[in-house]
């Protein structure tokens, strides 16, 4: 694929055409821009494999694109310091994938090393299969909610499900997305190298499967994107059957009558939604004093009233699960609880299964960080705001970056991808710092929770320190036509902003399709759009997006604040 495309581009050179030439012959004119795929392929052209570099140099120099790129290429094969790749990414999760795609777009010769399966946690053991399960749970909830159906005038006889069918759906979705990811990278000419990647020294990486010969490659820049694994606290024995992590739960090998979920963050909440919809009863075990820590308290409170209290869920807060023993010999799973503060034994639970959703631990062992004097902090690779890796003395390690869960800045797939893109921008000569406060997050319960920026307490703390005013505006889904048409009026959107200049500090949404609604706010934060401007943007009626429209309109920004978007434009 790669070579054939090169050939077609370099039609003006002496290389004979391949079988693809007829399809692409129309591209014979000097500019390759009207070729199909050209937007994606033209960079790949300059950097095909070293074996054919004699012909390639002609092409590159003739096109005269980025000097930096041609420099690296001209080194290739001639200078002693030749790199096999411009960019090597260790880990083909969503972060690595995002970085690879952007690298290709920027004209970098890119390889990605993956020791397991392409797609990483998100695609194989995280966001993707869980969305499949949540899609099922959402429908089950609808079909089981007699009251809701009746209100819509619908009649449905008892809804049931086939566990294996549900599990297959999740598994099929994961493999579909995994193939899409793999194909998209292959199609772009990213080399996918199989094996565990280890950093040998500056700009040098080895990879290889256990028991096979190892390959050493050099790269101008290296991105660590090894992600994370479920965190299992001490004292908890995971057997993969009755005491499980999200990795096992997503396979949905059984639906227990009663499952304890340790941790009430995103993962725990989503699984509680799945399990209760499939008929399980759930007990949350949360170390902090309130459920759903990390969410805006007001949203958390409302979410608890909707997602927890009316469901078959109870909870213990302020306790640690100090010991969890899997079920065996006819005995149930036993969980010992101790007080989170005093560490005194508090209670014990006997349940059918326990899901450990206490968070995720970075997967950075065996990366060879010691070879470059980098010491992890609780497993996380220390980085600066540009994702540049810091060594044990706090100095920058040149040409080495770390993105995603492995650096722990924001453990979200799309954050990793954004960080990867930011790194590629930097290595191609454009300074870029990612604003993490503009990265949205979502929890796909029914209804969904989404957020971007600061929570109210965080905003108030910041305001106190920096001496500005904070205001809060709220709108309810009860006032939204579309939500009411769906008979899903439960929900709240909350805007935290600065009334003095109209800056959006945070937006939190709990309600129907909240995860899809948040982007108007996250884009506004990313682009620095102020409330006084965005409130004039028009939303289609009737849509759920009007919840945000209302929200922006209900904010009260001081009148004297100038608005840059004030010039009327006639069209």
What are the residue numbers of the active site? 541
Residue 241 binding another protein, by CB under 8 A: no
Q: Which is nearer to another protein, 392 or 484 (CB)?
A: 484
Contact set for another protein, span 183-212 (CB under 8 A): none
Can you read off the two tokens belonging to residue 230? 């479920």
Has 405 been labeled as part of a binding site? yes
- 59/438 Cα distance (integer angstroms): 40
- Tell me, by CB under 8 A, how many residues bind another protein: 21
- 248/326 Cα distance (integer angstroms): 14
| Residues 246, 247, 248: CA angle, nearest 5 degrees | 90
Shortest spacing between CB 568 and another protein, in angstroms: 35
Shortest spacing between CB 475 and another protein, in angstroms: 9
Q: Select from 143-151, 245-253, 344-352, 372-380 the region that touches another protein (CB under 8 A).
A: 344-352
What is the DSSP pairing of strand 441-443 with strand 396-402? unpaired
Has 181 been labeled as part of a binding site? no
Shortest spacing between CB 216 and another protein, in angstroms: 55
Q: Which residues contact 112 (CB under 8 A, 6 or more apart)?
A: 88, 89, 90, 91, 92, 96, 97, 100, 185, 190, 191, 192, 193
Contact set for another protein, span 244-263 (CB under 8 A): 257-258
Q: Exposure of 394 by Cβ count < 10 A (0-12 exposed, 13-18 middle, 19+ buried)?
A: exposed
Q: Which is nearer to another protein, 47 or 258 (CB)?
A: 258
Token look-up 């010992």 returns 336
Shortest spacing between CB 332 and another protein, in angstroms: 6
Q: Which is nearer to another protein, 214 or 257 (CB)?
A: 257
Q: Select from 93-101, 346-354, 383-391, 393-401 the region that touches another protein (CB under 8 A).
A: 346-354
Has 207 been labeled as part of a binding site? no
Has 516 been labeled as part of a binding site? no
In this chain, which of 206, 474, 535, 553 binds another protein, going by CB under 8 A?
Answer: 474
Shortest spacing between CB 349 and another protein, in angstroms: 8
- 113/193 Cα distance (integer angstroms): 5
Residue 370 binding another protein, by CB under 8 A: no
Q: Which is nearer to another protein, 123 or 507 (CB)?
A: 507
Q: Select from 11-19, 311-319, 418-426, 516-524 the region that touches another protein (CB under 8 A).
A: 311-319
Residue 476 binding another protein, by CB under 8 A: yes
In this chain, which of 176, 209, 343, 478 binds another protein, going by CB under 8 A?
Answer: 478
Dihedral over alpha carbons 481, 485, 490, 494 (to 10 degrees) = -30
- 51/460 Cα distance (integer angstroms): 60
Residue 281 binding another protein, by CB under 8 A: yes
Q: Which is nearer to another protein, 292 or 313 (CB)?
A: 313
- 313/5 Cα distance (integer angstroms): 57
| Residues 552, 555, 560: CA angle, nearest 5 degrees | 110
Decide if 357 contacts 125 (C-beta within 8 A).
no
Q: Which is nearer to another protein, 313 or 524 (CB)?
A: 313
In this chain, which of 140, 188, 302, 389 binds another protein, going by CB under 8 A?
Answer: 302
Q: What 3-state DSSP class applies to 544?
A: coil
Residue 348 binding another protein, by CB under 8 A: yes
Q: Select from 78-86, 151-159, 474-482, 522-530 the region that touches another protein (CB under 8 A).
A: 474-482
Residue 289 binding another protein, by CB under 8 A: no
Q: Which is nearer to another protein, 169 or 346 (CB)?
A: 346
Element (H, E) at 524: helix 519-527
Q: Which residues contact 527 (CB under 8 A, 6 or more apart)?
A: none
Shortest spacing between CB 331 and another protein, in angstroms: 8
Contact set for another protein, span 492-521 (CB under 8 A): 492
Q: Which is nearer to another protein, 65 or 346 (CB)?
A: 346
Can you read off the two tokens belonging to residue 372? 């470059």
Q: Which residues contact 488 (CB under 8 A, 6 or more apart)?
A: 447, 477, 511, 512
Has 269 been labeled as part of a binding site? yes
Has 566 been labeled as part of a binding site? no
Q: Select from 203-211, 356-364, 375-383, 475-483 the region that touches another protein (CB under 8 A).
A: 475-483
Decide if 246 contacts 130 (C-beta within 8 A).
yes
Q: What 3-state DSSP class applies to 325?
A: strand
Decide if 454 contacts 437 (C-beta within 8 A).
yes
Has 149 been labeled as part of a binding site? no
Decide if 506 contacts 454 (C-beta within 8 A).
yes
Has 337 been labeled as part of a binding site? no
Shortest spacing between CB 547 and another protein, in angstroms: 13
Has 197 been labeled as part of a binding site? yes
Q: Select from 37-45, 381-389, 476-484, 507-515 the region that touches another protein (CB under 8 A).
A: 476-484
Has 411 been labeled as part of a binding site? yes
- 401/99 Cα distance (integer angstroms): 11
Q: Which is nearer to another protein, 114 or 296 (CB)?
A: 296
Residue 314 binding another protein, by CB under 8 A: yes
Has 161 been labeled as part of a binding site? no
Reduce the secondary structure of 130-174 to three states and give it as a string: HHHHHHHHHHHHHHHCHHHHHHHCCCCCCCCCCHHHHHHHHHHHH
- 398/202 Cα distance (integer angstroms): 8
Residue 352 binding another protein, by CB under 8 A: yes
Has 265 been labeled as part of a binding site? yes
Shortest spacing between CB 352 and another protein, in angstroms: 7
Can you read off the two tokens belonging to residue 427? 């290595």
- H helices of 52-105, where? 53-63, 67-75, 94-105
Whether residue 392 is preceded by a cis peptide bond, meaning omega within 30 degrees of 0, is: no
Can you read off the two tokens belonging to residue 321? 């699960």
Shortest spacing between CB 256 and another protein, in angstroms: 10
Whether residue 447 is preceded by a cis peptide bond, meaning omega within 30 degrees of 0, is: yes
Has 228 been labeled as part of a binding site? yes
Residue 332 binding another protein, by CB under 8 A: yes
Reduce the secondary structure of 262-293 to three states and give it as a string: ECCCHHHHHHHHHHHHCCCEEEEEECCCCCCC
For the annotated binding site, the residues are 131, 197, 226-228, 263-270, 286, 359, 405, 411-414
For the annotated binding site for FAD, the residues are 131, 197, 226-228, 405, 411-414
Q: Give contact residues for another protein (rule: CB under 8 A).
A: 257-258, 281-283, 302, 305, 309, 312-314, 331-332, 348, 350, 352, 474, 476, 478-479, 492
């Amino acid at each position: 694929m790669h070579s054939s495309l090169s050939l077609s581009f370099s039609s003006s050179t002496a290389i004979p055409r391949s079988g693809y030439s007829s399809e692409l012959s129309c591209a014979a004119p000097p500019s390759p821009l009207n070729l199909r795929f050209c937007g994606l392929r033209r960079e790949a052209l300059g950097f095909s494999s070293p074996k054919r570099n004699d012909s390639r140099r002609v092409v590159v120099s003739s096109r005269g694109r980025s000097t930096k790129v041609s420099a690296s290429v001209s080194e290739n094969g001639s200078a002693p310091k030749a790199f096999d790749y411009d960019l090597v990414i260790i880990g083909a999760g969503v972060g690595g994938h995002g970085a690879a795609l952007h690298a290709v777009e920027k004209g970098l010769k890119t390889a990605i090393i993956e020791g397991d399966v392409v797609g990483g946690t998100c695609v194989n053991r995280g966001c993707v299969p869980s969305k499949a399960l949540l899609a099922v749970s959402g429908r089950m909830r609808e079909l089981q909610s007699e009251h809701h159906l009746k209100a819509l005038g619908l009649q449905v006889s008892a809804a049931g499900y086939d566990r294996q069918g549900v599990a297959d759906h999740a598994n099929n979705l994961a493999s579909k997305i995994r193939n899409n990811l793999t194909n998209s990278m292959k199609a772009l000419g990213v080399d996918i190298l199989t094996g565990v990647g280890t950093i040998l020294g500056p700009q040098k990486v080895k990879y290889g499967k256990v028991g096979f010969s190892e390959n050493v490659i050099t790269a101008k820049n290296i991105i660590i994107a090894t992600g994370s694994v479920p965190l299992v606290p001490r004292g908890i024995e995971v057997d993969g059957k009755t005491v499980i992590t999200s990795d096992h739960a997503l396979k949905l090998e059984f639906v227990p009558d009663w499952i304890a979920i340790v941790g009430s963050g995103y993962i725990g909440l989503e699984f509680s939604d799945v399990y209760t919809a499939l008929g399980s009863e759930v007990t949350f075990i949360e170390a902090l004093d309130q459920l759903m820590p990390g969410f805006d308290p007001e949203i958390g409170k409302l979410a608890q009233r909707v997602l927890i209290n009316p469901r078959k869920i109870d909870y213990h807060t302020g306790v640690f699960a100090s010991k969890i023993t899997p079920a065996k010999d006819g005995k149930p799973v036993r969980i010992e609880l101790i007080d989170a503060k005093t560490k005194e034994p508090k209670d014990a639970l006997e349940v059918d299964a326990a899901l450990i959703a206490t968070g995720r631990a970075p997967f950075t062992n065996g990366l060879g960080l010691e070879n470059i004097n980098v010491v992890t902090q609780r497993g996380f690779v220390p980085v600066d705001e540009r994702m540049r890796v810091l060594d044990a003395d706090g100095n920058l390690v040149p040409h080495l970056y770390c993105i995603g869960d492995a650096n722990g800045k924001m453990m979200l797939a799309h954050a990793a991808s954004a960080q990867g893109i930011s790194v590629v921008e930097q290595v191609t000569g454009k300074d870029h710092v990612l604003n993490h406060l503009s990265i949205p997050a979502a929890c796909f319960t029914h209804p969904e929770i989404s957020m971007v920026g600061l929570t109210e307490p965080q905003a108030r703390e910041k305001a106190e320190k920096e001496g500005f005013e904070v205001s809060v505006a709220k709108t309810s889904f009860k006032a939204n036509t579309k939500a009411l048409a769906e008979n899903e009026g439960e929900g709240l959107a909350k805007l935290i902003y600065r009334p003095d200049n109209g800056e959006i500090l945070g937006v939190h949404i709990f309600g129907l399709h909240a995860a899809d609604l948040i982007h108007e706010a996250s884009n506004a934060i990313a682009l620095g759009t102020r409330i006084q401007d965005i409130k004039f943007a028009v939303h289609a009626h009737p849509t759920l997006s009007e919840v945000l429209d209302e929200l922006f309109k209900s904010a009260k920004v001081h009148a004297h604040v100038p608005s840059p978007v004030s010039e009327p434009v006639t069209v």
